[in-house]
Amino acid sequence: MPIKIYIDGKYYEKQDAKISVFDHGLLYGDGVFEGIRAYNGKIFKCEEHIRRLYDSAKAIWLTVPISEDEMAVAMYATLEVNKLKDAYIRLVVTRGKGDLGLDPRKCPKATVIIIADSITLYPEEFYQKGLEVVTAASPRIAPESLSPRIKSLNYLNNILAKIEGIQAGCIEVIMLNHLGYVAECSGDNIFLVRDSQISTPPPEAGILEGITRNTVMDLARNAKYPLVERNLGRYDVYTADEIFLTGTAAEVIPVVKADGRRIGDGKPGKVTRDLRKRFLKLVGRD
Going by their DSSP bridges, the two strands 251-258 and 131-135 should be labelled as parallel
Could you tell me the sign of the dihedral formed by the alpha carbons of 152, 157, 159, 162, in that order? negative
Catalytic site residue 151? yes
List the catalytic residue out of 151, 162, 270, 277.
151
| Distance separating alpha carbons of residues 127 and 121, to the nearest angstrom | 10
Instruction: Find all residues with CB under 8 Å of 235, minimum gap 6, and list them.
Output: none
Phi, psi of 31 (to 5 degrees): 170, 180
| Distance separating alpha carbons of residues 261 and 174, to the nearest angstrom | 14
Going by their DSSP bridges, the two strands 4-7 and 10-13 should be labelled as antiparallel
Report the greatest alpha carbon distance in the chain.
57
Which residues are 6's β-sheet partners?
11, 114
| Distance separating alpha carbons of residues 265 and 92, to the nearest angstrom | 41
Catalytic positions: 151
